[in-house]
């Protein structure tokens, strides 16, 4: 049991953040373990609803997780490769879109509604949210898209009406055809288009560790100017590199701060936003 | 080539309807041939966009057409029957939801966007739009649902922001599980919940014919009090009976007028709404 | 009887114009045959009311037609001339004002009201609408005025309240004395002051014909840069020259497009505004 | 020269009335000497403008004075009589309307504009202001009308936009034909329709005198219950009887107070409204 | 150091209260130790400012503490007694008002401003906030007043503009004379007049203890129906009785909940409002 | 008894000023005889309330008059001097603040409320109104302050809500400590911060006289460029010099006009504001 003064201390610490972020938009890339483990899933949903309670405007962008592969297997659609890259042909894309926009997306929406929030599931076709075009570099691998333009009007309208937008990373080409887009990229560019205050990437790591073996070596705050040196030194490496790049681009696009946090810790969203120290790595300009 | 006076006559006839219906909501059940034939599909989309242009607020509810069956077949999911009724078990429902909310719905949205309209695709889970429960009469046939409650707030908000809502007939149970619901029923109850001015059912017949063999025997306008006698006489029969019931319930729920029109005729929506004579059967209180 | 598709075609053509011109102001110079022939008069009034119905804001400026002459004759006031110009002395002006502002103006107002529109009759004295000064070139011919300043505030206020302003072309001098002003000029300068979208001059000719003998030689659209050459060639001549000048000045003053149309054709206003081809000559920048 | 304290006393007396009547509507029947004498005319116009300055909303209804007769004479239109009543036939009515709505009305408007106010001249046809029907009692004497309905929407809209409405007592029949209506009656019914705070009748007498020979016998305030006895006693008699009746009907219709004041005294409007004692006879419920 | 999950738990507990009380008014009677001890004083001020940060509207009513007595002593004004009651004569009242409204009140205001809040100091004379009359029961003891009427308009206006009202318990008699009023009473009646959500009395005890010797016997929540029995049993006694009465009257007057809390514990306001268990005794209907 | 025309003349003179100053702010320095003599006090209060009645926004800044000295004497606090300047030490300042903010201020508020106005008493601590710092020139004489910054937000908010702000000239230092500030200076700088239309200094002289012996030599209007010469000539001298400087600084700061008027004449405020000639000396740019 916590002592009154300890409790009071946390409140005295948290309340100014509530004032500070009230009315601000926070774009959250939701993926990894936090989408698989039932308890973590629930904690994320509760965090998002509580943020909305205190006047913050969370916007969720989700990935597709293992569910796309399961469905492709069930249908006997085999992966094909060109120059070592996995190809998303038309029949694959049909399944990707259905699973992302018709299954994963609507499950998250139903969960938020069940816990008392109000959510609306969207994909990039809705309201012209994401216009995309085929990626041709390094080669044509089918319906994998790059973002051409984000139109945030629909997301803004829903946010102002009290809804939590939940977005599947599918974009629309100029003839209305669907493209599969990287969810981190969608989250980053959407945050920029919304002039969001924060972009939070929920990952399966603790943040950026100076020494991978030492959990106490977490870098709490990183200026974007420091990133190149850390990449060169190998401190930032592998899958963390595109995450950091995503943060840098969001910051350049006008987002206030970006955060790479550990989705494996319950309520990591609340802890990152409402405590002085936070829980992951904040990347700032 | 039309003569100026003939052209002017049509405008003089149509413009008062534009004033009359400006700011009013029209719920359209979109299904049948008009969803299959490419030219008809385009004509419906154009009609809906033009209605929005002149200040009317169309709301689309669509069915699933043959695409659900195709996908079930591809997955080798076989239909099972209880007491002669087709069963929607959990794995069937998963596919029904994905196809309706993730494929058919988003295709319509993309088409409206491509022709210059602004659309948002929803299912009954979004914003708590449709709360459903399992239908247990005459027997439990799985995830087939009845509507418990419609919350039209999200649809209203989108309409006011200039969007055309496109709705897949999937409802959410109390634990967030999905239910398959009849699209005509969704359209009718949504029209009532929105206090819509009109409910329009796009069908594959000309309307109600007094004599099935004589296309000139179309009943242009029917009072609900006349329906029972016509059913008894066999003038209204078969699949037309539930359509007429749907109209009667919508009217009882406060909808202004209801219309059963021929989706096989191009632009039948415009002709029904903007001409004195209309093109199908209008059912009124 | 028109076929459904033909009807639908006209609607598909007209509805985008309704969207395009909704909320826009159209200043109409109303004169000539369309003010004399009862059926044409009614068609103009209906057109104006229908435009208001669909969200366009028509503003009428009328001439005085033969009624001024009739009244002057009844009073035995004879026309006098200075250097071949007709003189409007004080007693003539008194009659001109009474007939324009107290008879013709109020008759149009009453007609609009009777057909279901809401109109308000004004002259240039009302709300300081038209400040005028005596024209002294080429010589003093009495109370014939040039416009010094238009104050469109009253017209704007009435338009926003849903009224159709009907304006007699009488201006007020600095001591409140009345001046007779050319109605085309009032319409053109008022259109500029209102930043109107359109100026429409109802005339007794088909528009500008390339060959006066050939009604099929109508020039549908004319850029103002082309006008001088056409005047030089004699294609534009006589009474058409000041009409074209009026259009040019309105366009220079910020009006969107200007139209010289045939008031002898019923509903020519609707046809010009709501069809692709129009019915007269559109003069644009 | 007034002493400072005397000046201050008048201000201390007047300012609370300004607060009291701010935002209130005052309908003024303007006629008689005050419309003929140039100095009085100017004083009335200044009073009306000053009332508007301090937040009161004056609305003027004017009579036609001798100008109608002058014009009828010039045209050689002779008065005809039926059962001793003067007949207003069609050609007379044409002149009555022109003079009232096209001459007298616009002259008052021009005068207000010249002194810095903003005025709009109306007749009963404008905006459906006065719907009238032919008076058939005691016999048909032509285009003399009774009021069927007042629609005060246009007057309200103009008042709210800062204009002073100036109204000619002409009503519109159901086919748009004009009727001549008594100006006191128009003022009284308009005051009721506007739920005006005050109705002021400018007359050529001092108000109601208990003894016609004694100007000090002015009745400053009269309850409507006292009127019948005073009529019986002959204190109220002749032309004063319809004036008092007009006041009684306005009060019954919801007007706050009514005033019969002496238009022959300069600035009688200001003195009646802004001083404790007033200058004429106030009739109250 | 708290563990992340423990921290998160407190946030998950507190945030719904922030939503619940956002936009609600909380009237706080500020007195006792919390006004004397510098650290406690600061904690109260911080709590009040943080409440305002997260959208709650605190209103402070303060007592005078020992400062009145100090000043009376410095001036050599001796206490006099009538029937054992201390008398507040005119010269005493003059000092009471000066100290309350001119010293204690403005010191609290200055402290809130210094810590970043925005405060306005008022007494009952300002904006007609508290109308009072002399208390004559059991005998006349001078300028001790009872509340006749609270006009909360000024407090509401300040709250809506973002200010924290700080109120000295001085009322105004009908001739503008000052009366000294019990601060608990002012807080209670003001809470009722504001339809406040909460009334919080900061006291120098832990709340209502079932057993005075056992701090663990605190009654966390009390229904007003239970109070009489507890008074009879001596559980509620002495100075606690008027506090409970004050709560009962506030609840009867429409206040949501009332709270008697321990002002000797730092941040007791935050703990009472934002934690499930609270820290004192909540009295509810 | 005044004649009607004389009365009307005053109204015709005053009403345009009411329009001109409606919605404008007038800052009044209230001090001297007008704060001591009961009849004059009442006249000032009535003037201020009447100004508010007709839409002007008066703001009062008051001095402390003899009441501070009386209280200091009662407490036996002796005046001390440094270099001939009177010292305001901490215990003196405590009394100054209590008397100004807790006694004089609240008495004026109570008087305005009693006469039907709505007033709120403030000092410079409230809402951060006046930030001050110690005056160190020519030497440290204690808590005498200079203005660092005026934040007029609170005064503006109260004015817009219909209150008359009454302000004691006490400022707050950076640690919340109180400073005594010259009331003329507060009035002048507040007028500038509010972009007031007028600053009026109520004094005990007639205004600026060209010849002190001749009351008819009053300078009605003075341009600030003329002031230096008049000071050199000795026409402006003694206590009038800082008053004129205060006016000059207010004018430089953006105030419309400034007025030095005779507070010994009843209703001098009304006479200065609402008559052509005024009663004192107007200083303008």
pLDDT in tens, C217-266: 999 999 999 999 999 999 999 989 999 999 999 999 999 999 999 999 99
Task: Note whether F148 contacts E: Cβ–Cβ < 8 A.
Answer: no
| Band of residue C3 on the pLDDT scale cut at 50, 70, 90 | confident
Residue F197 pLDDT > 70: yes
Predicted local distance difference test score (pLDDT) of residue B284:
96
Residue A85 pLDDT > 80: no
Give the 3-state secondary structure of residue C204.
coil
* Separation in Å, CA F88 to CA A201, E104, F147: 61, 20, 17
Which member of E5, E53, E271 has the closest CB to residue A7?
Answer: E271
Distance CA B250, CA B258 (A): 8
Predicted local distance difference test score (pLDDT) of residue C128:
97
Chains F and A touch (3+ CB pairs under 8 A): no
Chains F and B touch (3+ CB pairs under 8 A): no
* In the block, residue with structure tokens 């009651």: E85
Distance CA E161, CA B163 (A): 36
Buried b (16+ CB within 10 A) or exposed e, A65-75: beebeebbeeb
Residues in B touching A171 (Cβ below 8 Å):
none
Task: Note whether D220 contacts F: Cβ–Cβ < 8 A.
Answer: no
Residue B123 pLDDT > 60: yes
C50 contacts B11 by C-beta, under 8 angstroms? yes
Q: How close, in Å, is residue D263 to chain F by CA atoms?
A: 13
* In the block, residue with structure tokens 């004649």: F3
Give the 3-state secondary structure of residue B78.
coil
Q: Give per-residue pLDDT as tens, D85-141.
A: 778 999 999 999 999 999 999 999 999 999 999 999 999 999 999 999 999 988 899
Residues in B touching C265 (Cβ below 8 Å):
4
- Residue A165 bridge partners (DSSP): A120
Check CB contact under 8 Å for A163 and B176. Answer: no
| Band of residue C174 on the pLDDT scale cut at 50, 70, 90 | very high
On average, the pLDDT of chain C sits at 93
Which member of A19, A266, A274 has the closest CB to residue E5?
Answer: A266
Q: How close, in Å, is residue E278 to chain A by CA atoms?
A: 10
Interface test with B, best of A38, A102, A176 (most B CBs within 10 A): A102
Check CB contact under 8 Å for C114 and D161. Answer: no
Which member of B102, B121, B122 has the closest CB to residue A103?
Answer: B102
Distance CA A139, CA A158 (A): 38
Task: Note whether B90 contacts A: Cβ–Cβ < 8 A.
Answer: no
Q: Which of A156, A158, A37, A166 is nearest to A105 (CA)?
A: A166
Q: Give per-residue pLDDT as tens, B199-208.
A: 999 999 999 9
Q: Give per-residue pLDDT as tens, A3-26.
A: 777 888 899 999 999 989 999 999
| Band of residue A151 on the pLDDT scale cut at 50, 70, 90 | very high
Residue C177 pLDDT > 90: yes
Give the 3-state secondary structure of residue B269.
helix
Distance CA F7, CA E139 (A): 55
Residues in A touching B94 (Cβ below 8 Å):
103
* In the block, residue with structure tokens 């009538």: E82
The secondary structure of chain E, three-state, reads CCCHHHHHHHHHHHHHHHHHHCCCEEEEEECHHHHCCHHHHHHHHHHHHHHHHCCCEEEEEECCCCHHHHHHHHCCCCCCEECCEECECHHHHHHHHHHHHHHHHHHHHHHHHHCCCCEEEEECCHHHCEEEEECCCCCCCECEEEEEEECCHHHHHHHHCCCEEEEECEEECCCCCEEECCHHHHHHHHHHHCCCCEEEEEECCCCCECCCCCHHHECCEEEHHHHHHHHHCCCCCCCHHHHHHHHHHHHHCCCCEEEEEECCCCCHHHHHHHCCCCCCEEEEC
Check CB contact under 8 Å for C7 and B271. Answer: yes
Summarize the confidence of residues E166-189 as an average pLDDT: 96
Beta carbons within 8 Å of F137's beta carbon, 6+ residues apart? none
A169 contacts A230 by C-beta, under 8 angstroms? no
CB < 8 Å from E in window 100-119 of F:
100-103, 105-107, 109-111, 113-114, 118-119
Q: Give per-residue pLDDT as tens, D189-208.
A: 999 999 999 999 999 999 99
D20 contacts D192 by C-beta, under 8 angstroms? no
For B63-129, strand residue ranges (E) read 81-82, 85-86, 119-123
Residues in D touching C120 (Cβ below 8 Å):
122, 126-127, 154
Buried b (16+ CB within 10 A) or exposed e, C102-137: bbbbbbbbbbbbbeebbbbbbbbbbbbbbbbeebee
What are phi and psi for residue B128, nearest 5 degrees? 65, 30
Please state which CATH number belongs to domain E23-284: 3.40.1160.10
Task: Note whether F127 contacts E: Cβ–Cβ < 8 A.
Answer: yes
Predicted local distance difference test score (pLDDT) of residue E2:
62
Predicted local distance difference test score (pLDDT) of residue F74:
93
Structure tokens at E1: 């150091």
Predicted local distance difference test score (pLDDT) of residue C2:
63
Predicted local distance difference test score (pLDDT) of residue A2:
62
| Dihedral class, residue F37 (left if φ above 0, else alpha if ψ from -120 to 50, else beta) | beta
Which member of B98, B109, B176 has the closest CB to residue A98?
Answer: B98
Task: Note whether F5 contacts D: Cβ–Cβ < 8 A.
Answer: yes
Residues in E touching F114 (Cβ below 8 Å):
175-176
Q: How close, in Å, is residue A184 to chain B by CA atoms?
A: 21
Check CB contact under 8 Å for E18 and A53. Answer: yes
Q: Is the dihedral of CA D64, D69, D72, D77 positive or negative?
A: positive
Residue B87 or F124, more confident: F124
What are phi and psi for residue A132, nearest 5 degrees? -130, 165
Q: What element of type H or E holds C130?
A: strand C130-134
Check CB contact under 8 Å for E15 and A266. Answer: no
On average, the pLDDT of chain D sits at 93
| Band of residue F228 on the pLDDT scale cut at 50, 70, 90 | very high
Predicted local distance difference test score (pLDDT) of residue D215:
86
Residues in C touching B6 (Cβ below 8 Å):
2
Q: Give per-residue pLDDT as tens, C84-128.
A: 777 899 999 999 999 999 999 999 999 999 999 999 999 999 999
Subunit partners of chain B (3 or more CB pairs within 8 A): A, C
Task: Note whether A99 contacts B: Cβ–Cβ < 8 A.
Answer: yes
CA F16 to chain CA centroid, Å, is 25
Percent of chain D at pLDDT exceeding 90 = 81
Q: How close, in Å, is residue C112 to chain D by CA atoms?
A: 9
Predicted local distance difference test score (pLDDT) of residue C65:
67
Residue F277 pLDDT > 90: no
Q: Which of C108, C46, C256, C267 is nearest to C280 (CA)?
A: C267
Give mean pLDDT in consecutive 10-residue pieces for chain D, a chain of 285 residues: 79 91 96 90 94 95 88 90 85 95 97 96 98 92 95 98 97 96 96 98 93 91 95 93 96 97 93 90 96
Which member of D163, D176, D178 has the closest CB to residue C113?
Answer: D176
Predicted local distance difference test score (pLDDT) of residue D164:
98
**Residue D152: Cβ within 10 Å count:** 21
Distance CA D86, CA C61 (A): 37
Summarize the confidence of residues F65-84 as an average pLDDT: 87
| Dihedral class, residue C120 (left if φ above 0, else alpha if ψ from -120 to 50, else beta) | beta
Q: How close, in Å, is residue A241 to chain B by CA atoms?
A: 32
Structure tokens at A161: 């009406």
What pTM value is reported for the model? 0.88
Residues in A touching B148 (Cβ below 8 Å):
none
Which member of D103, D111, D153 has the closest CB to residue C98?
Answer: D103
Interface test with E, best of F113, F126, F129 (most E CBs within 10 A): F126
| Band of residue F2 on the pLDDT scale cut at 50, 70, 90 | low
* Separation in Å, CA A22 to CA A93, A269, E22, F259: 39, 15, 12, 47
Interface test with C, best of D60, D75, D107, D110 (most C CBs within 10 A): D110
Q: Give per-residue pLDDT as tens, C208-222.
A: 999 989 989 999 999
Predicted local distance difference test score (pLDDT) of residue B107:
96
Sequence ranges of the domains in chain A = 23-284
Residue C199 pLDDT > 80: yes
């Amino acid at each position: 049991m916590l002592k009154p003064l300890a409790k009071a201390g946390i409140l005295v610490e948290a309340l100014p953040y509530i004032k500070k972020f009230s009315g601000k938009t926070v774009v959250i890339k939701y993926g990894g373990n936090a989408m698989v483990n039932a308890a973590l899933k629930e904690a994320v949903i509760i965090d998002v609803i509580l943020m909305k309670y205190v006047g913050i405007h969370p916007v969720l962008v989700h990935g597709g997780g293992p569910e796309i592969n399961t469905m492709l297997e069930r249908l006997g659609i085999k992966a094909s490769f060109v120059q070592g890259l996995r190809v998303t042909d038309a029949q694959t894309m049909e399944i990707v879109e259905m699973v992302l926009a018709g299954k994963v997306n609507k499950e998250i929406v139903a969960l938020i509604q069940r816990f008392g929030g109000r959510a609306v599931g969207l994909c990039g076709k809705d309201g012209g949210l994401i216009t995309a075009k085929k990626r041709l570099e390094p080669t044509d691998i089918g319906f994998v898209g790059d973002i051409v333009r984000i139109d945030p009007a629909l997301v803004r309208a829903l946010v102002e009406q009290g809804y939590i937008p939940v977005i599947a990373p599918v974009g629309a080409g100029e003839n209305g055809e669907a493209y599969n887009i990287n969810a981190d990229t969608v989250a980053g560019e959407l945050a920029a288009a919304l002039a969001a205050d924060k972009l939070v990437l929920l990952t399966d790591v603790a943040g950026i560790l100076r020494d991978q073996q030492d959990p106490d070596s977490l870098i709490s705050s990183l200026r974007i100017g420091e990133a190149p040196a850390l990449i060169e030194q190998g401190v930032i490496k592998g899958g963390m590199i595109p995450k950091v790049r995503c943060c840098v681009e969001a910051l350049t696009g006008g987002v206030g701060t970006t955060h790479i946090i550990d989705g494996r810790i319950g309520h990591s969203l609340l802890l990152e936003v409402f405590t002085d120290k936070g829980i992951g790595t904040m990347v700032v300009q």
